[in-house]
Amino acid sequence: MSSSRPVFRSRWLPYVLVAPQLIITLIFFIWPAGEALWYSLQSVDPFGLSSQFVGLDNFVALFHDPYYLDSFWTTIKFSALVTVSGLLISLFFAALVDYVVRGSRFIKR
């Protein structure tokens, strides 16, 4: 009986095959996300010459801003509306495609 587990000649071959994708993921996704998180915890001057660590003060100010909260809830409502309407329209068209028309066998001949 053969096993369904792949067998590699070299023990290191799977790591060599996975390494390029891990490096690309690290460079283009994980590193920028880490930098964005680090910069969000700082207060930077308009020209980017100096910065000061402020911790979560940026987020506290953001969530206490009434304009941000209004735009956040508007985005949530819009996203829900688009999702529900897209789903309903898709289901409607799927039902139309699935509908059997009387006499369709006669027309096809």
Print pLDDT tens along the chain (109 aa): 566 777 888 889 989 999 999 999 999 999 999 999 999 999 988 888 999 999 999 999 999 999 999 999 999 999 999 999 999 999 999 998 888 777 667 766 6
Determine contact, residues 31/38, Cβ cutoff 8 Å: no
Domain edges within the chain: 1-55, 65-109
Please report, for residues 26, 93, 94, the alpha-carbon distance to residue 88 in angstroms, rounded to integers and kept in the order given.
Answer: 39, 9, 10
